[in-house]
């Protein structure tokens, strides 16, 4: 089904079209959730949150708060007994008996103004019985750790997640491939390392926001900054015990998501509160501080790697153990653990692999999806070990990677075969562009220069049957309206959706509009805007919808002209016949149809094409071995390299040059692809050099932009290059695969490897701050 049979000389696919949303975004006209005007009936909500990482709630007294003039209602967990969660239902809207992290919602206040709601929070008295917290995932996985979810065994869970009731382990994913123990003695070189990856935040510039309204009949409308309007409809309704059809989610442009606006988080609070003040819209906008400590975080990770190769440098074995710091609730995080498990070999062919990936409850902020979904975290350590192993065996790190990396047909860690891949080309291009093997002198005597490379692979992590749908309809002027349920979060999906629809139908890109904002009442279903899956999955749905419309159009015209549809085509909005050389513009027939000759009635009617797509071939994996026929839909692969300088006096790192090359199957819009590579590189660089949520006894110490620094315009390298490799995906539209997340996966280890190349030190984990680098150099005797 891959390539639609469209011979269209004006096809916009493969062209760097200007973004469809650019003009409204530069004029300030683009609407984001907080821009929607609700008038005077709008009420404001604030949330009372736990100050303790772990405690039992003994009593909540909200009488004084309720008596405050302007306060309309107060909501606690007592009113909402339903569990919620994406892969594991382990969470209430508001805490009922126990709080599990600093920031856990205990009560909600709704008032006529934000100030009054905030003031009321101070009047709510909560009595806690403090419990011992779990602050480390390795400790949390042990039997002696306090149990955070005694009801784990009762939670509803997806079939591919394996919780261990009676422990804090909410998922244990295993790989048992070959004979690891027997393989070690055949290894000429073995490296073993422990790495720690800190929690980080997504930091979209737009904070989380939700506005909810419940009418007298109990119909719920939710407006929000959302990557997952359909999942929110389903999950929130299920938890409330109402039918999902009673819930409507309207999701305008998202001001940055990166995964933190996927699934359900604070939206459920707004809905719960709105149920107490029927008829009035209720707005809940997270402050930047709340954004830092209550929005989904990227989970922390403690990872142990052991890997070995033979005397020729061929990888023989890997043994990896991952302890994920899942936080207070792991409803989403359990699947990150799984993805890390089935990707635990990295993009390499390794005959013997043993992996244990544990998702562990802790009293830390809640882990959720973040760009890369576990991959930046595991590649950070894995790709440093690869460099070290190459060094041990006396091989160049690029040669070592070329030898061992996945090629088309390689056996994967889950036992299946790799599809067509251009990873080797990515390595070659990246090495060439960074000038691998050539050492340039440092810019000053107190500086050292180094280069480093890292590879990556990543599959969309999702349920096997995550689906997409789309429709297309034409207006009286022949312009095309495309309905999608995938969200524009900055990645440019509306633009590539328009390009694909235009190409598949045969109209100009400029004549396409996307039916936005996404509204679950009008927009076609889409599982979630996550996993870099839209260009591929939603793209297939769009192509199917356009083909459906095309068939309707060509059938009508063929009948009218007494020709066969095979002789007809649609080019630039005009139906043409290759046989009779007749033509008719779409606008002349797509609404009113065509008259039959002699005033004998009409044929056709308004054209509307529908299409859907769902992968049907993903199989389960054996719970004990992690082996199976096809674990995922596909893997995007790629390589990054950096050149940097380390300042010996300060430890400060300056990235001089960055190179990214990814095999994305087909670039529907090359410049948008490059923009993803640039943005991902800088986000990866930012996480490598600056970012870490400083959690002390469960309390976040740096919840502001001043104390949690992200990359600014002055931090980025002067030279950032991006290259595209195109080895087509068999079931991708025009062969396309995703790129959004992948671009930040290999950045941390590429930088770490370059630091090693420059000064010969390795750190236990990012961020590689000047202070840490300097101390490491001091330790190693490189500076005095």
489 interacts with other proteins by CB under 8 A: yes
Decide whether 75 or 209 has the Cβ nearer to other proteins: 209
Sign of the CA dihedral with 750 first, then 755, 760, and 766 last: negative
Q: Are 679 and 489 in contact (CB under 8 A)?
A: no
Point out the catalytic residue in the list 291, 741, 764, 771: 741
> Binds 287, which of ligand FES, other proteins, none (CB < 5 to 8 A, cut-off by type)?
other proteins
Q: Decide: is 681 part of the binding site for other proteins (CB under 8 A).
A: yes
CA-angle at 701, arms to 697 and 705, nearest 5°? 155
For residue 97, what is the DSSP state? S
Q: Minimum CB separation from ligand FES for residue 711, in Å?
A: 12
The answer to whether residue 705 forms part of the interface with other proteins (CB under 8 A) is: yes
Q: Cα angle vertex 412, ends 411, 418, to 5°? A: 75
- Is residue 29 a contact point for other proteins (CB under 8 A)? yes
Asked whether position 68 contacts other proteins by CB under 8 A, the answer is no
**Which does residue 274 touch among ligand FES, other proteins, none (CB within 5 to 8 A, set by kind)?**
none
679 interacts with other proteins by CB under 8 A: yes
Interface segment toward other proteins; rule CB under 8 A; list 103-111, 176-184, 247-255, 458-466: 247-255
Bridging pattern class, strands 300-309 and 315-327? antiparallel
Tell me the DSSP string of 48-59. Answer: EE-SSSSEEEEE
Strand partners, 555: none
The DSSP code for 523 is S
Q: Choose the contact partner of 767 out of ligand FES, other proteins, none; CB within 5 to 8 A by kind.
A: none
Using rule CB under 8 A, residue 120 touches other proteins: no
Sheet architecture: strand order including 480-484: 512-514, 480-484, 468-474, 608-613
Which one, 224 or 257, has the nearer CB to ligand FES?
Answer: 257
In terms of CB distance, is 22 or 156 closer to other proteins?
Answer: 22
Closest by Cα among 306, 314, 305, 307 to 400? 314
d(CA 69, CA 363): 36
HEC profile of 141-155: CCCCCCCCCCCHHHC
Question: Could you say whether residue 31 binds other proteins (CB under 8 A)?
Answer: yes
> Is residue 706 a contact point for other proteins (CB under 8 A)?
yes
Stretch that binds other proteins, among 186-194, 323-331, 517-525, 679-687 (CB under 8 A): 679-687
The distance of closest approach from Cβ of residue 256 to ligand FES in the complex, given in angstroms and rounded to an integer, is 5
Q: Which of 51, 256, 442, 565 binds ligand FES (CB under 6 A)?
A: 256
CB 367 within 8 A of CB 262: no
Cβ nearer to other proteins, comparing 54 with 283: 283
The 3-state DSSP class for residue 252 equals: coil
H/E stretch holding 196 reads strand 189-197
Q: Of 198-206, 324-332, 415-423, 469-477, which segment contacts other proteins by CB under 8 A? A: 198-206
- Token pair in block for residue 293: 């400590």
- Residue 318 in contact with residue 192, Cβ under 8 Å? no
67 binds, among ligand FES, other proteins, none (CB under 5 to 8 A by kind): none
Q: Return the one option of other proteins, ligand FES, none that residue 558 interacts with (CB less than 5 to 8 A, by type).
A: none
Q: List the interface residues with ligand FES, window 173-212 (CB under 6 A).
A: 205
Nearer to ligand FES, 256 or 670 (CB): 256
Binding mask 711-730 for other proteins (x = CB under 8 A): xxxx-x-x-x----------
87 binds, among ligand FES, other proteins, none (CB under 5 to 8 A by kind): none
Give, as ranges, the residues between 253 and 292 that touch other proteins (CB under 8 A): 253-258, 287-288
CB of 683 to ligand FES, least distance (A): 11
How near is the Cβ of 202 to other proteins at its closest, in Å? Answer: 8
On whether the CB atoms of residues 103 and 293 are closer than 8 A, the answer is yes
Q: At what angle do helices 333-342 and 375-393 cross, to 10 degrees?
A: 30
The structure tokens listed for 414 are 């889950």
Binding test (CB under 8 A) with other proteins, winner from 237, 284, 682, 693: 682
Is 37 one of the binding residues for other proteins (CB under 8 A)? yes
Is 311 a residue of the active site?
A: no
Tell me the site size for other proteins, rule CB under 8 A.
55
Nearest to ligand FES of 99, 675 (CB atom): 675
* Shortest Å, Cβ 722 to ligand FES: 17
- Residue 672 binds which one of ligand FES, other proteins, none, with CB within 5 to 8 A depending on kind? other proteins
Residues 382-405 as b or e (16 or more Cβ within 10 Å = b):
bbbbbbbbbeebebebbebbbbbb
**Least CB distance to other proteins at residue 740 (A):** 10
Out of ligand FES, other proteins, none, what residue 444 binds, judged by CB under 5 to 8 A for its kind, is none
CA Rg value for the chain: 27
Quote the CA–CA distance of 60 and 67 in Å, as a whole number. Answer: 15
490 binds ligand FES (CB under 6 A): yes
Q: Which stretches of 297-361 are assigned E, i.e. beta strand?
A: 300-309, 315-327, 352-361
Residue recorded with tokens 């005007």: 37
Tell me how far, at minimum, the Cβ of 371 lies from other proteins, in Å. Answer: 10
Show the tokens assigned to 130. Answer: 């403090």
Choose between 331 and 488: whose C-beta lies nearer to ligand FES: 488
Residues 6+ apart with CB under 8 A from 379: 346, 454, 455, 456, 745, 746, 748, 749
Which run of H or E residues covers position 170? strand 169-177
Contacts of 60 (CB under 8 A, 6+ apart): 76, 106, 107, 124, 125, 126, 127
Segment interacting with other proteins (CB under 8 A) among 294-302, 313-321, 385-393, 681-689: 681-689
Copy the structure tokens of residue 337.
């653990």
Provide, rounded to whole angstroms, the least separation between the CB of residue 21 and ligand FES: 11
- What is residue 360's three-state secondary structure? strand
DSSP per position, 86-150: SSB--EESS-SSEE-STT-EEEEEEESSHHHHHHHHTT-EEEEEE------HHHHTSTTSPPS-T
Active site residues: 741
Which spans of this chain sit near ligand FES (rule: CB under 6 A)? 205, 256, 490
Which spans of this chain sit near other proteins (rule: CB under 8 A)? 16, 18-19, 21-23, 25-32, 34-35, 37, 202-207, 253-258, 287-288, 489-492, 671-672, 675, 678-683, 704-706, 710-714, 716, 718, 720
């Amino acid at each position: 089904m891959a390539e639609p049979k469209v011979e269209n000389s004006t096809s916009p696919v493969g062209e760097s079209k200007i973004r469809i949303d650019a003009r409204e975004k530069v004029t300030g006209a683009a609407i984001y959730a907080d821009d929607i005007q609700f008038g005077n009936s709008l009420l404001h909500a604030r949330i009372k949150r736990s100050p303790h990482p772990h405690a039992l709630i003994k009593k909540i007294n909200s009488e004084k708060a309720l008596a405050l003039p302007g306060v309309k209602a107060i909501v606690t967990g007592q009113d909402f007994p339903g569990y919620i969660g994406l892969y594991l239902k382990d969470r209430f809207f508001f805490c009922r008996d126990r709080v599990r992290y600093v920031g856990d919602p205990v009560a909600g206040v709704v008032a006529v103004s934000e100030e009054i709601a905030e003031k009321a929070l101070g009047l709510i008295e909560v009595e806690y019985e403090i419990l011992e917290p779990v602050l480390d995932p390795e400790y949390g996985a042990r039997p002696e750790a306090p149990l955070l979810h005694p009801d784990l065994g009762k939670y509803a869970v997806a079939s591919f997640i394996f919780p261990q009731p009676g422990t804090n382990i909410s998922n244990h994913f295993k790989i048992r491939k070959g004979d690891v123990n027997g393989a070690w003695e055949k290894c000429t070189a073995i490296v073993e390392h422990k790495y720690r990856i800190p929690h980080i935040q997504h930091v979209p510039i737009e904070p989380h926001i939700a506005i909810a309204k419940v009418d007298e009949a109990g119909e719920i409308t939710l407006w929000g900054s959302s990557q997952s309007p359909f999942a929110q409809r389903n999950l929130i309704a299920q938890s409330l015990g109402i039918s999902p059809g009673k819930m409507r989610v309207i999701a305008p442009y998202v001001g940055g998501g990166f995964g933190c606006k996927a699934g359900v988080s604070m939206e459920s609070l707004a809905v719960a509160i709105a149920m107490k003040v029927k008829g009035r819209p209720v707005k809940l906008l997270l402050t930047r501080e709340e954004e830092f400590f209550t929005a989904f975080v990227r989970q922390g990770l403690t990872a142990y790697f052991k890997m070995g190769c033979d005397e020729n440098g061929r990888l023989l074995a890997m043994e990896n153990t991952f302890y994920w710091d899942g936080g207070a609730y792991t409803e989403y995080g359990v699947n990150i653990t799984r993805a890390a498990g089935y990707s635990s070999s990295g993009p390499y062919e390794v005959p013997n692999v043993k992996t244990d990936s544990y998702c562990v409850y802790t009293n830390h902020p809640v882990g959720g999806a973040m760009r890369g979904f576990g991959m930046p975290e595991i590649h950070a350590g894995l790709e440093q070990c690869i460099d070290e192993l190459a060094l041990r065996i006396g091989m160049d790190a690029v040669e070592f990677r070329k030898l061992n990396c996945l090629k088309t047909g390689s056996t994967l860690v889950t036992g299946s075969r790799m599809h067509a891949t251009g990873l080797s080309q990515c390595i070659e291009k990246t090495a060439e562009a960074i000038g691998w093997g050539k050492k340039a002198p440092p810019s000053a005597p107190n500086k050292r220069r180094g280069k480093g490379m890292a590879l990556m692979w990543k599959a969309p992590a999702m349920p096997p049957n995550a689906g997409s749908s789309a429709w297309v309809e034409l207006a009286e002027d022949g312009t095309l309206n495309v309905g999608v349920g995938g969200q524009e979060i900055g990645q440019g999906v509306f633009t590539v959706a328009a390009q694909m629809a235009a190409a598949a139908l045969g109209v100009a890109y400029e004549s396409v509009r996307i039916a936005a904002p996404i509204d679950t009442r009008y927009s076609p279903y889409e599982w979630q805007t996550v996993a870099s899956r839209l260009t591929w999955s939603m793209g297939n749905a769009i192509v199917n919808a356009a083909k459906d419309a095309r068939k309707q159009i060509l059938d009508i015209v063929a009948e009218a002209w007494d020709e066969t549809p095979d002789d007809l085509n649609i080019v630039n909005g005009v139906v043409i016949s290759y046989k009779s050389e007749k033509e008719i513009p779409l606008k002349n027939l797509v609404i009113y149809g065509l008259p039959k000759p002699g005033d004998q009635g009409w044929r056709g009617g308004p054209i509307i094409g529908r299409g859907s797509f769902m992968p049907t071939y993903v199989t389960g994996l054996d719970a004990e071995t992690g082996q199976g026929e096809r674990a995922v839909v596909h893997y995007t692969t790629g390589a990054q390299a950096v050149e940097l300088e380390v300042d010996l006096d300060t430890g400060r790192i300056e990235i001089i040059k960055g190179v990214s090359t990814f095999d994305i199957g087909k670039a529907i819009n090359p410049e948008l692809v490059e923009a993803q590579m640039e943005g991902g590189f800088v986000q990866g660089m930012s996480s490598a050099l600056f970012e870490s949520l400083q959690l002390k006894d469960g309390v976040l110490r740096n919840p502001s932009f001043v104390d949690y620094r992200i990359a600014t315009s002055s931090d980025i390298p002067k030279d950032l290059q991006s290259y595209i490799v195109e080895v087509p995906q068999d079931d991708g539209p025009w062969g396309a695969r995703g790129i959004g997340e992948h671009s930040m996966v290999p950045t941390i280890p590429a930088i770490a490897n370059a630091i090693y190349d420059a000064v010969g030190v390795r750190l236990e984990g990012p961020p590689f701050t000047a202070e840490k680098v300097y101390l490491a150099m001091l330790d190693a005797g490189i500076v005095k």
